[in-house]
A and B are shown apart, each in its own frame.
Chain A
Amino acid sequence: MRNWITELRTSFLAVLALAVILCGLYPLTAWVLAHGLFPGKADGSLVTRDGTVLGSSLIGQEFSSPQYFHPRPSAAGRGYDAERSGGTNLGPLSKNLVDEVERRVAAYRAENGLPPNALVPADAVTSSGSGLDPHISPENAHLQAGRVARARGVPEAKILELVEAYTAGRTLGILGQPRVNVLRLNLALDGVRDVGR
């Protein structure tokens, strides 16, 4: 019994002493260095225009009007709620999932003027894991380009050129997937170039 008391005393001392180092000094040092070296990134890669914070280049946001590219469906809160990240967590045989995807496929084809048997990119009709996915696939962007061009009254080739310019390739030519950042592309459509680089 006496043994346990000394042992517990040592234990509580160890908890406090280690907490000072690991939970105080460590994160504060990381904070100071992060702000010294990568200030914009440590503070959330925020995108501003004329002093207004429009969002973060890393965090997806909702776009639904035809002259903008649309992001993926989102299960975060009521959609792109950046306080409530998360996916649907629906399994592959979920009726909710299958019904919802069926509805989205039809809507995607109608909105982009695609023939009724056109294949729809998987990312366009499924929810991401975070609900905040900032990217869409290049295939998805290409299929939306016609609609965006019509809504803006500009030639589709011009829009496709912009999509090309805002398509990121695989890192080191190997890692990840080619992708288009929806917020950056849409800002470019509005004439705001190269934000959040």
Chain B
Amino acid sequence: MAMMDLYGWIQLALFVGLLFLVTKPVGLYLVRVLEPDGKTWLDRPVRPVERLLYRVLGVDPKGEQDWKQYTQSLISFSLAGLLFTYAVLRLQHILPLNPQKLGPVRPDLAFNTAASFTTNTNWQNYAGETTLSYFSQMVGLVFHNFVSAAAGIAAAAALVRGIARHSAKTIGNFWVDLVRVNLYLLLPFSLVFSLFLTSQGIVQNFKPYVRTTPVESTTAAAPDKAGNSQIIAQGPASSQVAIKMLGTNGGGFFNANAAHPYENPTPLSNFIQMLSIFLIPSGLTYYLGRKVRNQKHGWAVWSAMAILFLAAALVCWRAESAGNPRLQALGVDPGGGNMEGKEVRFGVSGSSLFATVTTAASCGAVNSMHDSFTPLGGLVPLVNIQLGEVVFGGVGSGLYGMLIFVILAVFLTGLMVGRTPEYLGKKIESYDVKVSVLAVLILIFSILGFSAWATVSRWGLAGLNNSGPHGLSEILYAFSSGTGNNGSAFAGLNGNTPSYNITLALAMLFGRFIMMVPVLALAGNLARKKLIPPSEASFPASGPTFIIILIGTVLIVGALTFLPALTLGPVVEHLLMTGSGVLY
């Protein structure tokens, strides 16, 4: 273990290189999946199931929807799913597959959890091992791991159709997108992935927790240990972990999430899990380029994301490698970096890269405890979430979030050169800018509003595990993660109280749906527009200038909004760590 060692650099290069290589094939596959009659190599076994589902639902796969109908279907389906999961959690004591005989989940916690999984957040105010039955995990939660991911991809596809079409009324059919994404993309990919994960050691069984006789208790060496046993939680984890990563959900089967050796057993499982988070979001940028017939635009969006990602990964890695000077002063070897809350098999480089990936995307799985990161190491995941998780981002939500910034970037350049802004041959008008700004504002209001409320309330402060500036970071992280639908946490915060359960659930619902409605409205409005022929003065949606302006827009909107709060949290904490002897 050393500071920013060669192995870490090779790992990072390998990661970005492989991500680049899979982007085109995944993107091309997405093009087929997101066409109602697209052909895939799975047609023979899956097409009959697809047809059966349309018949059961009474859906005409040829009929398209305008943006209002599309939104209505999405919201209605999400509501039904939320109620379904709420019921499963409340009734788990009378449902099957509950070998540990766990009781029903409390109403406020069940509401929080149902909202959390419906919104693709997977914020967890419970510990899986001690709270949820196998049925609740496998049915109540895995259901949303699939369908919330599919809904996100559907919304992104709808927006891309809106951009690609002209003089059109419709943006696709939600039910067709939902069914096809699940059957042709998420399900087969997850099945293969799940088997790989089991090959690495992730459990997949329905057995009661295993009672063991630890080695030391069997020897005379430790008489006080005689009769001790270790009870090891089990469960159908592998199938859940596969879709948890591919669908950028992030909800851990076990409390420690991907730090748990049964959830992420080896350095290889760690690497592939990181790659699986970015797989679909990255492919969607290629899908964008293909559908708008401007592949350079797709790659420009990809490049902006990759640059922001590399910057974040390096800052986080550097901070965690440098470690905690307060512990080093006590005689802890500085060569090890900050190992509090980290696993030996991943080390600092495998943990800081995972933390960056999981928050750049809206995944939120963690293989190390972000709460115990150094101030600047912990700042990176927080900022990633606050920028809107547009750096590859969640499945679908990353792309539509970034496209909102593209619209704003185009608008800003239009203002700068004094021309009507246009994007890929369409005029960007007042309505488009208004809905885009609305989508950005909801994040800001929800994150800062709820955080401010919590910091001045007894219920807010009661949940803290750390005091001083780190306490503020815990609250800020919670509402950023909830609103951004990330789901990772500064997990010392005890959010399992009625007040936190309800405020966080609201933040998650606002962050998901009040964001999605403007996105779909934008899709509908763009689809309606006429194409205008490109001219000499048209601003190209690719190339270095475009990439720089896009990155600038993301950073300026994010930085300006959250800088004051970040200064009071992680930045002050960093200055105190390096320049004072204060402890909290």
Seen from chain A, the residues whose Cβ lies within 8 Å of a Cβ on chain B are 3-4, 7-8, 10-15, 17-19, 21-24, 26-27, 29-31, 33-35, 37-38, 41-46, 52-56, 58-65, 67-68, 72, 76, 80-95, 97-98, 101-102, 105, 109, 117-123, 125-137, 139, 170-172, 174-177, 179, 183, 186-187, 190
Whether B142 and A22, one on each chain, are in contact in the complex, defined by CB atoms closer than 8 angstroms, is: yes
Set of chain A residues within 8 Å of B11, measured between Cβ atoms = 174-175
Please tell me which one of the listed residues B183, B239, B584 contacts residue A30 in the complex, with CB atoms under 8 A apart: B239
Whether A42 and B58, one on each chain, are in contact in the complex, defined by CB atoms closer than 8 angstroms, is: no
Distance to closest chain B CB from A4 (angstroms): 7
Q: Is B420 part of the contact surface with A, judged by Cβ < 8 Å?
A: no
**Which of B34-42, B199-207, B505-513 is near enough to bind chain A?**
B199-207
* C-alpha gap A132/B233 in the complex (Å): 12
Whether A37 and B198, one on each chain, are in contact in the complex, defined by CB atoms closer than 8 angstroms, is: yes
* Number of A-B residue pairs with CB-CB distance less than 8 Å in the complex they form: 407
Q: Is B337 part of the contact surface with A, judged by Cβ < 8 Å?
A: yes
Q: Is B552 part of the contact surface with A, judged by Cβ < 8 Å?
A: no
Whether B338 and A92, one on each chain, are in contact in the complex, defined by CB atoms closer than 8 angstroms, is: yes
Q: Is B139 part of the contact surface with A, judged by Cβ < 8 Å?
A: yes
For the complex, count residues of B whose C-beta is within 8 A of A: 130
Set of chain B residues within 8 Å of A43, measured between Cβ atoms = 203, 205, 207, 234
Q: Is B59 part of the contact surface with A, judged by Cβ < 8 Å?
A: yes
**Most B C-beta atoms less than 10 A away, residue of A10, A118, A136:** A10
Identify the closest chain A residue to B147 (Cβ): A18
* C-alpha gap A45/B238 in the complex (Å): 14
**Most A C-beta atoms less than 10 A away, residue of B10, B219, B239, B343:** B343
Whether A44 and B203, one on each chain, are in contact in the complex, defined by CB atoms closer than 8 angstroms, is: yes
Set of chain B residues within 8 Å of A87, measured between Cβ atoms = 256, 259, 340-341, 368-369, 371-372, 491
* C-alpha gap A3/B72 in the complex (Å): 9
Whether A92 and B375, one on each chain, are in contact in the complex, defined by CB atoms closer than 8 angstroms, is: yes
Please tell me which one of the listed residues A10, A54, A123, A132 contacts residue B213 in the complex, with CB atoms under 8 A apart: A54
Distance to closest chain B CB from A58 (angstroms): 4
Whether A90 and B466, one on each chain, are in contact in the complex, defined by CB atoms closer than 8 angstroms, is: yes
Contacts A4-B72, A22-B147, A119-B331; A14 near B341 (Cβ below 8 A):
no
Whether A128 and B344, one on each chain, are in contact in the complex, defined by CB atoms closer than 8 angstroms, is: yes
Whether A105 and B331, one on each chain, are in contact in the complex, defined by CB atoms closer than 8 angstroms, is: yes
Whether A55 and B336, one on each chain, are in contact in the complex, defined by CB atoms closer than 8 angstroms, is: no
Contacts A27-B236, A31-B204; A128 near B213 (Cβ below 8 A):
no
Identify the closest chain A residue to B367 (Cβ): A129
Distance to closest chain B CB from A106 (angstroms): 9
| Residues of chain B in range 152-182 having any CB-CB distance to chain A below 8 Å | 175, 178-179, 182
Q: Is B374 part of the contact surface with A, judged by Cβ < 8 Å?
A: yes
Set of chain A residues within 8 Å of B368, measured between Cβ atoms = 87, 129
Q: Is B214 part of the contact surface with A, judged by Cβ < 8 Å?
A: yes
Whether B79 and A30, one on each chain, are in contact in the complex, defined by CB atoms closer than 8 angstroms, is: no
Set of chain B residues within 8 Å of A176, measured between Cβ atoms = 266-268, 270, 345-347, 350
Q: Is B184 part of the contact surface with A, judged by Cβ < 8 Å?
A: no
Please tell me which one of the listed residues A13, A22, A86, A90 contacts residue B256 in the complex, with CB atoms under 8 A apart: A86
| Residues of chain B in range 60-108 having any CB-CB distance to chain A below 8 Å | 72-73, 76-77, 79-81, 84
* C-alpha gap A94/B344 in the complex (Å): 22
Whether B343 and A133, one on each chain, are in contact in the complex, defined by CB atoms closer than 8 angstroms, is: yes
Please tell me which one of the listed residues B76, B130, B323, B331 contacts residue A84 in the complex, with CB atoms under 8 A apart: B130
Whether B57 and A14, one on each chain, are in contact in the complex, defined by CB atoms closer than 8 angstroms, is: yes
* C-alpha gap A3/B234 in the complex (Å): 45
Set of chain A residues within 8 Å of B79, measured between Cβ atoms = 8, 11
Sampled A-B contacts (29; CB under 8 Å): A4-B76, A10-B76, A14-B57, A14-B175, A26-B187, A34-B198, A38-B195, A38-B199, A42-B198, A43-B205, A44-B234, A53-B211, A63-B216, A65-B221, A84-B130, A84-B255, A85-B259, A87-B256, A92-B374, A93-B577, A94-B466, A120-B333, A121-B332, A122-B335, A123-B339, A128-B341, A133-B343, A137-B336, A170-B7
Set of chain A residues within 8 Å of B323, measured between Cβ atoms = 122
**Most B C-beta atoms less than 10 A away, residue of A4, A26, A95, A130:** A130
Please tell me which one of the listed residues B49, B56, B268 contacts residue A175 in the complex, with CB atoms under 8 A apart: B268
Whether B259 and A55, one on each chain, are in contact in the complex, defined by CB atoms closer than 8 angstroms, is: no
Set of chain A residues within 8 Å of B473, measured between Cβ atoms = 91
Distance to closest chain A CB from B274 (angstroms): 10
* C-alpha gap A105/B336 in the complex (Å): 14
Set of chain A residues within 8 Å of B202, measured between Cβ atoms = 41
Q: Flag B555-584 by CB within 8 Å of A: 1 or 0 each.
A: 000000000000000000100110000111
Whether A93 and B139, one on each chain, are in contact in the complex, defined by CB atoms closer than 8 angstroms, is: no
**Most A C-beta atoms less than 10 A away, residue of B73, B183, B210:** B210
Identify the closest chain B residue to A183 (Cβ): B215
Whether B129 and A58, one on each chain, are in contact in the complex, defined by CB atoms closer than 8 angstroms, is: no
Set of chain A residues within 8 Å of B57, measured between Cβ atoms = 10, 13-14, 17
Identify the closest chain B residue to A102 (Cβ): B330
Set of chain A residues within 8 Å of B139, measured between Cβ atoms = 19, 23-24
* C-alpha gap A67/B215 in the complex (Å): 12
Whether B191 and A26, one on each chain, are in contact in the complex, defined by CB atoms closer than 8 angstroms, is: yes
Whether B372 and A89, one on each chain, are in contact in the complex, defined by CB atoms closer than 8 angstroms, is: yes
Whether B194 and A83, one on each chain, are in contact in the complex, defined by CB atoms closer than 8 angstroms, is: no
**Most B C-beta atoms less than 10 A away, residue of A23, A43, A60, A101:** A23
**Most A C-beta atoms less than 10 A away, residue of B232, B242, B466:** B232
* C-alpha gap A29/B239 in the complex (Å): 9
Whether A56 and B256, one on each chain, are in contact in the complex, defined by CB atoms closer than 8 angstroms, is: no
- Known: A34-B238, A59-B232; 9 extra A-B contacts, CB below 8 A, are A14-B175, A44-B210, A55-B215, A56-B212, A64-B225, A90-B465, A97-B372, A176-B270, A177-B1
